[in-house]
Structure 1
Amino acid sequence: MIASLKWLQNYVDISIPVQELVTRLTMAGLEVEAVRNLDAQLQQVVTVRVESIEPHPKADRLHLCQVADDQRTYRVVCGAPNLQVGKVVPLALPGARLADGEILKAVEIRGEMSQGMLCSQRELGLGDDADGVWLLAPDTPVGIPVAQVMGDGDVIIDIGITPNRGDCLSIIGIAREISAICGSPLRYPDIALSEGDADIGSLSSVTVDDPVGCPRYAARIVQGVKISGSPAWLRQKLEAVGIRSINNIVDVTNFILMEMGQPLHAFDFDRLAENRIVVRRAGEGERFTTLDAVERVLFADTLLICDGRNPVAIAGIMGGLDSEIKADTTRVLIESAYFQPQCIRRSSKKLGLRTESSFRFERGVDPAGLVRALDRAAQLMVEVAGGEIARGRIDVYPHPIEPPVLRLRVDRTNRLLGTRLKSSQMAEVLRRIEMQVKETDSNCLEVVPPLFRPDITREVDLAEEIARLVGYDKVPVTAPQAAVEAASFDPHLRARQEVKFLLQGAAFFEVLNYSFIAEESIQRLRLPVGDPRLSPVRLMNPLSEEQAVMRTSLVPGLLETVRYNFDHGNDDLRIFELSKVFSAIGGADLPEERHQLVGAMAGRLIPDPLYGGREEVGYVDVKGTAESILSMFYLEGVAFAVDEAAPYLDPKMMASVYCKGEYLGCLGRVHPEVEEAFDLKRAVYLFEFDFDRLFNLRSSRPLFRPLPKFPSVTRDMAIVVDAAVRVQEPLDYILELKEPLLELVDVFDVFKSEQLGAGKRSIGYRLVYRAADRNLTDEEVNAVHQRLVDKVLGKFGATLR
């Protein structure tokens, strides 16, 4: 919001220096982004009249211009397309400082000397118009500084307005804040209308078909106007805030826009079919040509202002080409309305059309102040264009908007702010910004905020207003009082940390992947139809198809990471991820979240070995890692089995892990089809565990176990069995016999040979015996061992090797 200090002083007395005013506005929440002293900035920019324009001899798009003030003539090179002989324009002389900070110098352009620069509004920092040279009013005196044209000694203040403060998108809105900050009374402009005999009801009517999109619509008619240029005072006001003067009628609507923050629209009344207004929604695909001569395709939720037959404006955004004010206009219908902010914001975004009007309607204008703005506009139009105001006004307001009634507790507000203000002090602060305040008791205020402050809806909003107007620097600084306590022990978190430490000690690196993945990556795992992992939770508004669903497994993300490393030359990998997966639950709003642990191994067993071989990782390495993880939880009854629980693993080199019949996870080599689907160029080995299930099945950790007092006795048993017999089966059978002296059973050898026979293999088991109360004799051990051997041979039809 650009504000002129001279314009502000019409409504409030400003007795403090500009720099102090800027600081206090910023501290009150209205951040001042720039301050420009026009008197100092524009002294080296003078008004001149264009006397001649000739083509540049060495440049097709440049011209040689003769411009003159009342004393001398200047030769200037210019390429502006709107330059015309006889026009009054600003000339920046050598030494002038432009808006971008550049100090102008006399320069030679394509062999021709330019003694200055003809400037646009943007180049002087006085507006956004950069389409050509700034054409000043024809009656502007030449040879005077532009600062004098704008008003001697004026200061332009550029204020950044936050989206919730639409009330400050006007000169009076800024003046109201200055009044509250400085304690000076606010002066509203005097409005006195002299109406004619013609009644507006006999001239026109307004029908609002959509009272939700347009809760209030008011109109006045001014007859007998004469379109011409605006008087100097009106041009200077608009130009000071960067608005180009057009004609006296349009300039009045722009003046009210900036003065009161109420967008108005002036229609040529005689160009309105049936001389009436209808407010309705557009039809889907309806076409309309706006003032900028662009035909636009409208949407079904676009609000339109229509006459008796056709649309004449897009409500709150831009008028139509056919109803604009022209040189022959004699009767004007002034529109002053309140449109639903969401409706205007949605239409402006869809149409890609942003205007000063839509910028204010999107933030909410004052529904109670639009009639005052309408009357002010009618008064000024008669003042600058002549004519007569029709008697009365049209005001369609079927459902008046009521402001909220808020309760402000003094003690709670003081606790929030850390202040010790009395209720009377709070009431006085709120009344400064035109809130109605009633003291119900010593600790409570009843507050009704004005309708131009739609952002005030809660008690805490009132507290914020008090803080910023009293001054944030007046709020005492106190140290927060908070008890410092140690976080409660989380065994699940501790278990996760210990697993991570274990894997990091085994040369694994932890990776963190996105929780959102592509649905296609889950389908690459060869999961059977009906597997719940194929029914992930879908995001309503995903950033891309690569992040469209929530992961039901960590495996796809880990394999994508493996491929990324392979593609970048890192072939020797040991990585893991311990994080959450998300499973959809029918009828539930939120998915089930479970922790899963997945690791991958690939490449050489020892990357870049200084000594030794170049062995590749294999099944035994991934199984050893998995066993190390299982040992951390002291699980009882762990068993490995070959089944189809993990279809993404190679059935020839995989195992599923169970504990007491409950599935814990799997390990093995990635299935060749999955390797191809993920474009993995070499073998990858995985282990995958349901971490929450591991944690729930954990056994208590033994803190101390006495060392055995008596020695152990070891015996080996090498049996020849069918190749179909798994190594685990005889081992489990031996343990099931529960021999009291048997302490440990382990596998020490698996051997195949033609001498054993076709379809046969030898498995060697090492059995450790020990008694807790005595030394064992060879005879005692041999008897027990022979008994176990006989049972195993009989059970599996085996022979000793």
Structure 2
Amino acid sequence: MRVPFSWLLEYIDPGLSPQELGERMTMAGIEVEAVEAFGSPLPGVLVGQVKKIKPHPGRDNLVLVDADTGDGPHEIVCGAKNMTVGDRVAVARPGAVLPGGLKIKERPIYGVTSAGMLCSAKELGLELGSDQEILILDKNTPVGAKVDDVLGFDDQILYLDLTPNRADCLGMLGVAFEVAALTAGEVKMPSMNLPETEIPVNEAVKVDIKDRNLCHRYTARVIRGIQIGPSPLWIQMRLMKAGVRPINNVVDITNYVMWETGQPLHAFDLQLLKERKILVRRAGMGEKLVTLDGVERELTNEDLVIANRNEPVGLAGVMGGKDTEITAATSDVLIEAAIFNPTSIRRTARRLSLPSEASQRFERGVNPEAVMWAQNRAALLLNELAGGKVLKGVVDKNYSTVEPHRLTVSARRIRRILGIDIDTAEILALLKSLGFFVSPSEDDLLEVTVPLRRADVKIEEDIVEEVARLYGYDRIPLTLPRGELIENREEEDEKFKDAIKEIMISAGFYECIAHSFINPSGLRHLRLPENDPRMSYIPVRNPFSEEQSAMRTTLVPGLLKAVQHNCSFSEVNQLLFEVGSIYMADSLPLEEHPAEKPTLGMVVSGIIPEPNWVVPSIKADFFVIKGVLETILRRYGIEGVKFIPQALPFTHPARSALVKVDDVVLGFIGQLHPEVAEAWEIDQPVTVSEIDLNLLFEMAKPVPCFTSLPRYPAAKRDIAVIVDRNIASEDLAQTIRETGKDFVSRVVLFDLFEGKQIPAGKRSLAYSITFRRDEGTLTDEEVNLVFEDIKNALLSRGAVLRGEGS
């Protein structure tokens, strides 16, 4: 937001220099990024009055102008012919230096000596009018005055970097109210004595709001008999200093009032508005509109338009349409001032990549009280500066009743939060300076009514902030926080998650960070039944698109989307993981905050490592994830993990398992079902896993203490058994451990075989068993006795020793 200091002075005199005001505002939370002069000095450029105009004796396209700059007329050769006798113009006398370094000299032009140059706006560094026309100054401009003083080139511009909540400062009056609070000043409002004709506006135009959720209020005024032309120079200069390009008097006045009040306006050529009727409705799917920039836009039913009977004539709150724009032929104008839904405007402006000053203000929210004031202000200026006749009354379709927000605030609590001893009377004075209505009540309580322009003040803490910034952050003493330091569980959780990430990265996985919002169709692609808790997803209110319309209940869709994306670029070998939260609701609609569960998700496909001549590649499958998960469990001293075969809705029926420790299910590992892979457009085997990190964190043991190396030698025995395929290898390993008790220190599955020598439905599992005792060396006899017990235990579970028949 650019704030010309001279313009601000029309409403309030802060009694400070622009630099001092910028510092004061910054300290009060309204950051002023910079304070800069508008233009450079124009030495030797003076205001001149045209006394005589005559043809050039040698050239038909030139004229000789006698211009008086206060010291008598000077004959100047000029190519422009838009000036008349009596006009005030900018005269660059010999010795003057123009922007760009052009030095003016007295010199002959086709036989006539020119004593200077009459300047166009462009030659003075201004984007006004045509560079083929001389800049005409106001008729009351003093002859001989310096042009840079007349145009305010020394004016200072304050560049405000506003936070989104301070939409009230997107208008000069809003800034003036803020300055008044900081300097104990009073805002001078422009006078509003608006003359109207006897013709009622309802006879000239009709308005109908079809979607009241997207348009809460729409007002229209009609001004007839307007003479289109350039705006007065003072309006053009103010707009230029604010960063707005002047166009014509009607458009300039709507921009001027928007910059003054923060309320966007739009002007329609009433003669081009069919049937003189305004409809505020949603666009039809595929409906077209050519906007003022000449671009044809294709609209959707998410867009709000201003329309006549048949077609749209404007994109509500964003940009007007080409068909009803103000041109030189316009005489009757309809002025629109409205309140549109901020979310709708933001969605449309972003989808069409069409940001505008109007959309910026509607997105942040406009002041309901400013609508009618801005409407009348624009009508008054069109009457005074464009010769328009204002029809009686305003068409006002208002379907929202907005009441000022009221709060009960404790002065005692304000003092406690700020840590200062501020008197209640001073608190009242500070709040009243902001335009808040405050009345004290019992027990040091304050009843505060917030003006509608301050929609950002909603809770008691907002009032505390207002008191603090007006009191002065620099006046609040610095103090260290007091209190007992306690263990931060949240910090420990974050450290745990970071450690998990380090393990995953060290295992060769790449971290994936997906959106927490998902498309619900991704859950349906997983073939989850409707009664599955993961289908009870929380819908997002006013989502940007269907792709982000639900809070995720599983990390799997995001990981699969990443796999599909990578595969489309021929990246088929993938090890991806994500540590993120999923959101589970106890019931819908939500009655309390959903459970936010930190989760580890993994997905693998292809082969690892990439083919090379040093290390052979293996399939990235179930066992890769199983190995990484076992590494994590060992790192945190978690024992007794079991992988229980279990088909899930989205996994291969014979290649998935639940991960259990004791009787607690930590998560699952499983190869993606072919039909699910096809739904995700993935044409290769993919294995996914999801682990509950909350449960893992609760089971994690402290870092283990040092254990000395074994003092006595170990003995090893191998055993191979044939079992049914549905018997888990871990179950047999656990049987070996339980039977061997204190004598078995390690059990490793080193071979799995299925082939012609093995009966159908069976498989061979071979284990290496390490025997060791802490108190002394085991004898062969002791080892053999334990080994025999292990054989019998396996046989009792239906196993057949390899080589002893089947």
Same fold per superposition (TM over 0.5): yes
Contact persistence 1:217–1:336 (CA under 8 A): yes
- For 1:242 and 1:489, locate their aligned partners in 2 and report how far apart those are by CA, in whole Å: 48
Deviation at 1:92, TM superposition (A): 13
Q: Does 1:7 align with 2:7?
A: yes
Deviation (angstroms), 1:164: 2.7
Q: Gapped runs of 5+ residues in structure 2? A: 56-60, 68-73, 84-88, 105-115, 589-593, 754-763
Residues 44, 429 of structure 1: alpha-carbon distance in 2 compared, 3 angstrom cutoff: farther
> Equivalents in 1 of 2:355, 2:313: separation in Å?
18
Tell me what 1:404 maps to: 405
1-side partners of 2:719 and 2:767: how far apart?
A: 4
Offset, 1:200:
1.9
CA contact (8 A) 1:263 1:360 kept: yes
1:259 aligned partner, one-letter code: E
Q: CA deviation at 1:591?
A: 9.6
CA–CA separation in structure 1 for the residues paired with 2:689 and 2:349:
54
8 Å CA contact retained: 1:576, 1:597: yes
Return the alpha-carbon distance in structure 2 between the equivalents of residues 793 and 202 of structure 1. Answer: 98
Find the counterpart in structure 1 of residue 366 from structure 2.
365
Report what 2:254 is aligned to: 253
Map 1:299-338 → 2, pairs under 5 A: 299-300=300-301, 301-304=303-306, 306=308, 313-316=314-317, 317-318=319-320, 321-322=323-324, 324=326, 326-327=328-329, 329=331, 332-333=332-333, 335=335, 337-338=337-338
Tell whether the 8 Å contact from 2:168 to 2:174 is kept in structure 1 after alignment.
yes
Contact 2:515/2:558 (8 A) holds in 1: no
Q: 1:556 to 1:133 in 2, by over 3 A?
A: same
Deviation at 1:228, TM superposition (A): 4.7
Q: Hey, what's the Cα distance between the residues in 2 that align with 1:156 and 1:702? A: 66
Q: Deviations over 1:697-716 (max 9, x none)?
A: 9999999999999x999899
Structure with max Cα Rg: 1
Per the alignment, residue 60 of structure 1 pairs with none
Aligned to 2:25: 25
In the alignment, what sits opposite 1:161? 162
Q: TM-score, with normalisation over the residues of structure 1?
A: 0.63
Shift in CA distance, 699/280, structure 1 to aligned 2, threshold 3 Å: closer
Partner in structure 2 of residue 473 of structure 1: 474
Per-residue Cα deviation, 1:646-672 (whole angstroms, up to 9, x for no partner): x999x9xx99999999999999x99xx
Equivalent-residue separation in structure 2 for 1:727 and 1:359 (angstroms): 63
SS state at 1:405 partner: strand
For 1:414, the equivalent position in structure 2 comes to 415
Structure 1 gap segments, 5+ residues each: 53-63, 76-82, 107-114, 609-613, 753-760
CA contact (8 A) 1:407 1:459 kept: yes
Q: 1:364 to 1:687 in 2, by over 3 A?
A: closer
Residues 249-296 of structure 1: CA deviation (Å, up to 9, x unaligned): 44443433333333344555566556x543431551555555555555
- Provide the residue aligned with 1:34 in structure 2: 34
Indicate how the Cα distance of structure 1 residues 286 and 143 shifts in structure 2: closer, same or farther if over 3 A, else same: farther
1:370 counterpart SS class: helix
Q: Secondary structure at the match of 2:306?
A: strand
Distance 2:745 2:81 in 1: 109
Deviation at 1:349, TM superposition (A): 4.0
Shift in CA distance, 193/104, structure 1 to aligned 2, threshold 3 Å: same
Query: What is the distance in 2 between the residues matched to 1:616 and 1:416?
Result: 63
Give TM-score, length-normalised by structure 2: 0.63
Map of 1:755-794 to 2, 5 A cutoff? none
* Aligned match of 2:219: 217
The 3-state SS of whatever aligns with 2:173 is helix
2:135 partner letter: L
Amino acid of the structure 2 residue aligned with 1:163: P
Q: Is the 8 A contact 1:516 1:550 kept in 2?
A: no
Root-mean-square deviation (Å): 7.3
In structure 2, relative to structure 1, the CA distance for the partners of 1:376 and 1:138 (3 Å cut) is same
Matches within 5 A, 1:81-480: 86=82, 136-137=135-136, 146-151=147-152, 153-196=154-197, 198-200=198-200, 203-204=203-204, 206-210=206-210, 211-212=212-213, 213-219=215-221, 221=223, 225-267=226-268, 276-284=276-284, 285-292=286-293, 296-300=297-301, 301-304=303-306, 306=308, 313-316=314-317, 317-318=319-320, 321-322=323-324, 324=326, 326-327=328-329, 329=331, 332-333=332-333, 335=335, 337-342=337-342, 343-386=344-387, 389-397=390-398, 399-441=400-442, 443-480=444-481
Q: Which amino acid aligns with 1:457?
A: K
Once the two structures are TM-superposed, the CA of residue 209 in structure 1 deviates from its matched residue by: 2.9
Q: Is the Cα–Cα contact under 8 Å of residues 581 and 596 in structure 1 kept in the other structure?
A: no
In structure 2, the residue matched to 1:110 is: none
CA–CA distance in 1 between the matches of 2:297 and 2:604?
57
Conserved 8 A contact 1:45-1:93: no
CA distance in 2, matches of 1:594, 1:35: 50
Equivalent pair of 1:216/1:367 in contact (CA under 8 Å): no
What secondary structure, in the 3-state scheme, does the structure 1 residue paired with 2:34 have? strand
Report the more deviating stretch, 732-741 or 360-369.
732-741
| Secondary structure of residue in 2 paired with 1:468 | helix
Shift of 1:187: 1.0
Q: Which residue of 1 aligns with 2:112?
A: none
Secondary structure at the counterpart of residue 208 of structure 1:
strand
The answer to whether the 8 Å contact 2:733/2:747 transfers is no
What letter is aligned with 2:9? Answer: Q
The code of the aligned residue for 1:484 comes to L
- The aligned counterpart of 2:759 is none
**Within 2, Cα distance between the matches of 1:344 and 1:500?**
40
Corresponding letter in the other structure for 2:280: R
> Post-superposition shift, 1:20?
0.5
Q: 1:191 is matched by which residue type in structure 2?
A: M
Q: 1:302 to 1:45 in 2, by over 3 A?
A: farther
Q: Partners in 2 of 1:328 and 1:657 — Cα distance?
A: 76
Deviation by residue 1:396-416 (Cα, 9 ceiling, x = unmatched): 445542222222222222333
Instruction: Name the CA distance, whole Å, in 2 between partners of 1:702 and 1:239.
Output: 71
Q: Where in structure 2 are the equivalents of 1:52-67 lying within 5 Å?
A: none
> Structure 1 491/776 Cα, relative in aligned 2: closer, same or farther at 3 Å?
farther
Partner secondary structure for residue 215 of structure 1: strand
Output the CA distance in 2 between the equivalents of 1:395 and 1:232. 33
Deviations 1:429-471 (A, max 9, x none): 2222222222223522222222222222222222222222222
